[in-house]
Amino acid sequence: MRLAFVVVLVFLMASIGFTQQSDDWFQGKPIVRITFDGLVNVRVSDLEGITQPFVGRTFDDHTFWDILGRLYALEFFETISPSAIMADAHGNEVLLRFTVTERPMVSRINFTGNSNLRRNELLDTILLSPNDIVTDIRLRLDERAIVERYLERGFPDVRVRSEVLPGRDNAVVVVFHIEEGEMIAIEGFVFEGNTAFTSRTLQRQLSLRPRSLFNSGAFQESRLIADRHTLVQYYRDRGFLNANVIDIVREIRRDDRGNNLMTITFKIYEGTMFTFGGITFEGNRILSTEQLSAQVTSRVGDVANERRLHADLMRISDLYFEHGYIFNRIEPIPTQDLEAGTISFHIHIIERGRAHIENIIVSGNQKTRDYVILREIPLVPGDVFSKARVMEGLRNLHNLQYFSAISPETPPGSTDFLMDLIINVEEMPTTDVQFGLTFSGSADPDTFPISLMARWNDRNFMGSGNMIGADLTVAPETQALTLQYTERWMMGLPLSASFDFTAMHMNRRAAMQNFPPFFHGDEPFAFPDGFSSFEEYEAAFRIPPDQYLMPYNQWRVSLGAGTGYRWMTHLGVLGLGGGVRLGMMLNSYDSDLFRPFDPILRENNNRWSPSTSIWSSFSLDRRDLFFDPSSGYYVVQRLGYYGIFPFEREHYIRTDTRAEWFYTLIDVPVTDTWNFKAVFGIHTGLSFILRQPFFDRPYIEEASRLAVDGMFIGRGWMHEFRRKGNALWLNWVEIRIPVVPGILAWDFFFDAAGIKPTPGALFTNFFGDDGSLAGSDTFFMRFSFGGGFRFTIPQFPFRFSIARRFLIRDGAAEWQRGGIGNMFDFVVSFAMTTY
């Protein structure tokens, strides 16, 4: 009431203030800027989300009340005094200025009555912290958070109230007064009336646990309610469709130490166990009985499962919905035969006309323009309603990563057989601005792992659905600047276009050949300095000792452009793409001191040369969410042609084939907001480097060839980075467990990756190691397994894993030493998505 009175009073004062100005000059004028006077602790950026959408709009009373109401709803200010100022000499534009008085700031937070929870634990529980502004909403939320924490600890009678006291320097002290009540722990459970299942079996279904050495046994009323439902569902999924928990009795006693112990008794009515007797249909003319029966997975004679039966009935309704018949009346009438122990369903159907979409309405978007959302929905006004196509549109919107929540509504339209489709969205930040230190992303073990980084990226630039970004990275070995822009839709079609500019400098090292014998590059058994034979070179992974590696500088400047088109098919999103990259490259070293072993590097010293490529790709994507999928598959084929012009230094073809599949193994609700979920994922991929037509072999720098890098490929095998080849086979299997959905996950992985010098060797010498390891002739795959955390947010796409490595030699595992306890390796990598 107090807040409402203040708002009304300010509204009246503001109205008087505005009307007293001459001729209401500001009415109908565009708002060019909104400013604030009196801000002390509130930042202007905290208010831009409210004010920015109004800049450029025409001033009128409705707009003014809308702005003022939203500012008061923040609860940041005690008073807000508005004024309109001429933004130019002629009064053609309006500058709105709000003079504000902020609510007091918190100087300290105190707790009274907390004998069982420590102060630090309570501070971690609440959202309010020193230097925050006090609002009634925050206080109520924090009171509730403290209550919830006590309920988790077994204090069902806890009471919490907050008090705001004056402090120093116009600040306040917030005090939370806590009445803990008596703690109650569960001593045990008793089950009465159960004959089909043992008490031990039923107790295993409960989330509550009795007090033990490893469990406090804290009693929570909310979990007891959930456990009651769990027991009923357990019975009904096993044929006891009338089973119920008819009563729960609590008995509390105080033990010798003064602890309150509760025994919980579940009184169960089991009833008869039913088997499924079948489903019959009446009134269906549009869809045949055979079509409807095909949706039923339950089989006659099977033990009746309530959830499976419910899913069968939903599939029957969904079949109608998919064809646009959402106004049908579908009434399942169950018949229980207690003597025979069967349950049958007779489904009475009243068919009506198809529902057509009258309007598609977008709600909740402040930044994102309506057309950006509407173009992702594969429906337009006038279309027949399709649940599958609505779900496809929701998936498309989730994959944009613009919204934290998306929910559809389907209210009736203006007449019969018309309906509206409302898409409600809640936007999340799409602009990332980052400065600081970051992991460099290079798998080279000789590379300094930390880089200075500055990055700006907007995935939804000006609400247009386009992406723009800039990235600057500075490290001792690498300095790079990248500018990029992507337009996802062109000419109203799912046709994308992307452009990027990259400038890069790298300090690199290469094998040298300063001492005879000298090779020219066409010898099949050449070897660099540090070795006396080709066999010795192969046995050392083709990695010269450090003293035989020469330094050189490499500069690259390139401009890339790409395009792609997407088709929605029943198999998934079919994509075709292609692009071209035009660049220049310069390698520089002191030719008076060094002679490189690589003939391409040797022949182009201190000379800018073109570096061009053209590529194409084909993909089929049926993942539910591409950035963190839980179901579906993804296949992609990419072909790159490097060295378009005959006078370039590199000439080769690279082909990459990838396939992934994901499946949710477990998805069990644990709390109202969190499910224990486990997703199985499997990946395989082949990469080949081939010669171009009219060339006798691939001409490619050693640094551009394929490798098991130990971070993205064959996790943990860091020392394999310098072992290059022209054929790569990569496989991984993962079990992904979201810890904080959309932010953090724990992954278990098993990797198998291997390199061959030529694509043909992958097929003709599959088990051989090509002499890359001394004395090895029976293996080439590098295996590793382990687990770690993966961040699933675009702003921080890192993985932190622990890996255990091994080889298979002569049918037995050969374990490799690691850097942690001589067993494990620590791996940091990016959670990269497949192109």
- Each residue of 286-328: pLDDT tens digit? 999 999 999 999 999 999 999 999 999 999 998 998 888 988 9
Residue with tokens 């399942």: 332
Q: Is residue 522 assigned to a domain?
A: no
CA distance 577 to 573: 13
Residue 759: enclosing H or E segment and its boundaries? helix 759-764
Which pLDDT value is given to residue 131? 82
pLDDT at 652 over 90: yes
- Of 179, 209, 238, the position where a domain reaches its end is 179
> What is the pLDDT, as a whole number, of residue 773?
36
CB 312 within 8 Å of CB 295: yes
- Coil vs helix vs strand at 283: coil
Give the three-state DSSP class for 62: helix
CB 777 within 8 A of CB 768: yes
pLDDT band at 719 (very low <50, low <70, confident <90, very high): confident
Contacts of 516 (CB under 8 A, 6+ apart): none
| Cα distance between residue 216 and residue 218, in whole Å | 5
- Which residue type is seen at 117? L
3-state SS class at 202:
helix
Q: Name the β-bridge partners of 68.
A: none
Structural tokens at position 424: 């409600």
User: SS3 string of 10-22?
Assistant: HHHHHHHHHHHCH
pLDDT tens-digit map of 75-101: 788 888 888 888 887 778 889 999 998
For every residue of 141-183, DSSP letters joined together read: HHHHHHHHHHHHTT-TT-EEEEEEEE-STT-EEEEEEEE----
Q: Which residues contact 313 (CB under 8 A, 6 or more apart)?
A: 330, 332, 345, 347
Query: What does residue 708 show for φ and ψ, rounded to 5 degrees?
Result: -85, 105
Return the minimum-mean-pLDDT range out of 204-213, 718-727, 820-829.
718-727
Neighbours of 204 (CB within 10 A): 10
pLDDT category at 795 given cuts 50, 70, 90 is low
Q: What is the mean pLDDT of residues 187-206?
A: 95
Decide if 134 contacts 143 (C-beta within 8 A).
no
Q: How many domains does the chain contain in total?
A: 6
221 and 287 assigned to the same domain: no
Within a domain: 642: yes
Q: Are residues 799 and 657 in the same domain?
A: yes
- For the residues 682-694, what does the mean pLDDT come to? 95
CA distance 723 to 778: 18
pLDDT in tens, 40-60: 878 888 788 788 888 888 888
Place of tokens 């171009």: 692
Residue 434 lies in a domain: no
Query: Which residues does residue 737 pair with via DSSP β-bridges, in sequence order?
Result: 746
Confidence at residue 437, expressed as pLDDT on a 0 to 100 scale: 58
For the residues 488-512, what does the mean pLDDT come to? Answer: 92
Among 251, 269, 287, identify where a domain stops. Answer: 269
Residue 807 lies in a domain: yes
pLDDT given for residue 696 in this prediction = 86
| Whether residue 115 sits in one domain with residue 76 | no
Q: How many degrees, rounded to 5, is the angle at CA 383 between CA 379 and CA 385?
A: 80
DSSP-derived pairing of the beta strands 467-474 and 478-487: antiparallel
**Residue 399 belongs to a domain with what CATH number?**
3.10.20.310
31-45, 273-287, 374-388: range with lowest mean pLDDT: 31-45
Structure tokens belonging to residue 634: 């993804």
209-222 tens-digit pLDDT: 998 887 888 888 88
Whether residue 338 sits in one domain with residue 282: yes
CA angle 49/52/57 to nearest 5° reads: 140
Which two tokens mark 365?
Answer: 């978007």
What pLDDT, on the 0 to 100 scale, is given for residue 304? 95
Q: Does residue 566 lie within any of the structural domains?
A: no
Residues 305 and 411 in one domain: no
**Residue ranges making up the domain that contains 300:** 275-350
pLDDT for 385-418, tens place per residue? 988 889 889 989 988 989 988 999 989 889 888 9
Query: Are residues 666 and 719 located together in one domain of the fold?
Result: yes
pLDDT tens digit string along 529-543?
999 998 888 777 677
Question: Is the domain of 151 the same as that of 190?
Answer: no
- Quick one: pLDDT band at residue 830, thresholds 50, 70, 90? low
Give the span between the Cα atoms of 706 and 727, in whole angstroms.
Answer: 7
Nearest to 113 by CA among 141, 155, 167: 155
CA-CA distance, 54 to 31, in Å (whole number)? 7
Last residue of a domain, one of 155, 179, 203: 179
Judge whether residue 5 has pLDDT over 50.
Answer: no
> Strand 77-86 vs strand 94-102: parallel, antiparallel, or unpaired?
antiparallel
Query: In sequence order, what are the residues at sequence separation of 6 or more whose Cβ sits closer than 8 angstroms to the Cβ of residue 834?
Result: 634, 636, 658, 660, 683
State whether 345 and 367 are in the same domain. no
In a domain, 475, yes or no: no
Asked whether residue 666 falls in the same domain as residue 768, the answer is: yes
Distance of CA 428 to the CA centre of its chain: 13
Same domain, 696 and 831: yes
Look at residue 769 in the predicted model and tell me its pLDDT.
Answer: 62
| 411, 440 contact by CB (below 8 A) | no
Q: Evaluate whether residue 728 is within a structural domain.
A: yes
Same domain assignment for residues 241 and 364: no
Percent above pLDDT 90 for the chain:
50
Cis amide bond preceding 517, omega within 30: yes
* Domain presence at residue 553: no
Same domain for 716 and 810?
Answer: yes
CA–CA dist 83, 64 (Å, integer): 11
Q: What pairing do the DSSP bridges indicate for beta strands 675-690 and 727-740?
A: antiparallel
Q: What is the mean pLDDT of the chain?
A: 87
pLDDT at 274: 96
pLDDT digits (tens, 9 = 90+) for 224-253: 999 999 999 999 999 999 999 999 999 989
